[in-house]
Amino acid sequence: MAGEGWRLYDRCFRLADGASLHEYPLYEVGRDARMDRTVRMAVVCGSVSLGGVGAVAATCGLARPGAATMVLWAMVAVAVICAAVWAATTVLFARRSAATYAALADLSLAAALVCLNDASVMFVSCGLFIMLTVLTGLLLARAGLVLHVVFVSAYVIGAAVMVAHSTTRSNYLIGAATAMLLWIVIGLPIVVRRIWLGLSQAAELASFDPLTGVLNRAGLVRAYRQLAQYAESDGVAMVAVAVDLDNFKSVNDRFGHAVGDAVIIEAAQHLAHHFGRTAAVARCGGEEYTVIATGNRGHLDHLVHSLPTVTPGIHGPATTMSVGAVWCEDVRSDNSMLRAMTAADQAMYSAKNRGGNRLYAVLGDSP
């Protein structure tokens, strides 16, 4: 599947393994089409706003004449160009592009503010950094945000020093104003980011089965949408696999529920190891699992037919499985997942009716 889709799905697995959301940007393109539109609209409006502020400063005599005014007009041009790029493409959402854009935005705004002819106006205008802090917190991981915070803090403090040297205002008043400005442009966006991080991590982890660590049914629905999007965009196939442990009740009756849980965990690990992390493996019932995988048809066909239909038996008795597999068709339609899972379940029951411990695959020429 596409590298972007794999990265988004791998993010979920790493979170289940205990990774921190700090390692990731709060927003990654492709996770939600509505969120994509909202973020792009907000960033376009922010870029246009910065350009508008620069144009007002350049035309109203707030900038020093000559080169300083030209710098402001250059910032206006850059802001308009960036707004057009944001509106037309998602290229700036990529991590490296976003980091480059954030760094240039910081430097451009800092250069523009230096061009203002009044230190007090420059100091107050540092409030514009709040838009860049929000953008940085949204598109970059923690390391990028830390660099931004250090740069903006140093800049605001430097502007405060300039105000202190150019006016007769009380240093205590300037210090209080600096603290308030730092809270507005840095503290408030970071607090909001922390709240969003907590909510995001809870939402991410709610997609996983607590016993096995693989996806639950809700997580499978989310993963299916992502995998379907990238399967269609890359023109690759998509397969649904239904798995049910044979005679699992007898395992609980003979060995107890603790051993039964160990078998359930081992079966989930067995499927995850076989299909790899580019496949969505979910526990959809007591001893029932569903696997959704994308890729080259030949590779998927090999994966399905090479699946051992018995658990390794390391942490419990080796248990056989009934497996059904079908191609997912018309993957972007609203009911494609339901149709695929229903067909895979029917194939799995065909395998179970033949005695279990086998695969029943309906993988014809048309995926």
Q: Which two tokens stand for residue 24?
A: 């990731």
Determine phi and psi for 113, rounding to 5 degrees: -65, -35
Beta-carbon contacts of 287 under 8 Å, excluding residues fewer than 6 positions away, are: 244, 245, 248, 264, 267
Residue 103: name the closest of 151, 51, 55, 141 by CA: 151
Q: CA 361, CA 344: separation in Å to the nearest integer?
A: 8
- Does the CA dihedral 309-312-313-316 come out positive or negative? negative
- Give the pLDDT score at 31: 60
- Give the pLDDT score at 168: 83
- Does the CA dihedral 177-179-185-187 come out positive or negative? negative
Q: What is the DSSP string of 307-354?
A: --SB---SSS---BEEEEEEE--STTSTTHHHHHHHHHHHHHHHHHHT
Beta-carbon contacts of 56 under 8 Å, excluding residues fewer than 6 positions away, are: 62
Q: Are 304 and 287 in contact (CB under 8 A)?
A: no
Ranges in the chain, pLDDT < 70: 1-35, 90-96, 334, 364-367
* Maximum Cα interatomic distance, the chain, rounded to a whole number of Å: 92
Half-sphere exposure for 242 (CA within 13 Å, toward CB): 27
Task: Report the chain's C-alpha Rg in angstroms.
Answer: 28
Q: What is the DSSP string of 268-300?
A: HHHHHHHH-TTEEEEE-SSSEEEEEEEE-HHHH
- Give the pLDDT score at 5: 40
Q: CA 293, CA 276: separation in Å to the nearest integer?
A: 9
A 10 A CB-CB count for 23 gives 12
- Give the pLDDT score at 290: 95
Q: Are strands 279-283 and 237-245 parallel, antiparallel or unpaired?
A: unpaired
User: Nearest-5° angle of CA 113, CA 118, CA 120?
Assistant: 85
Which residues are 237's β-sheet partners?
295
pTM, to two decimals: 0.62
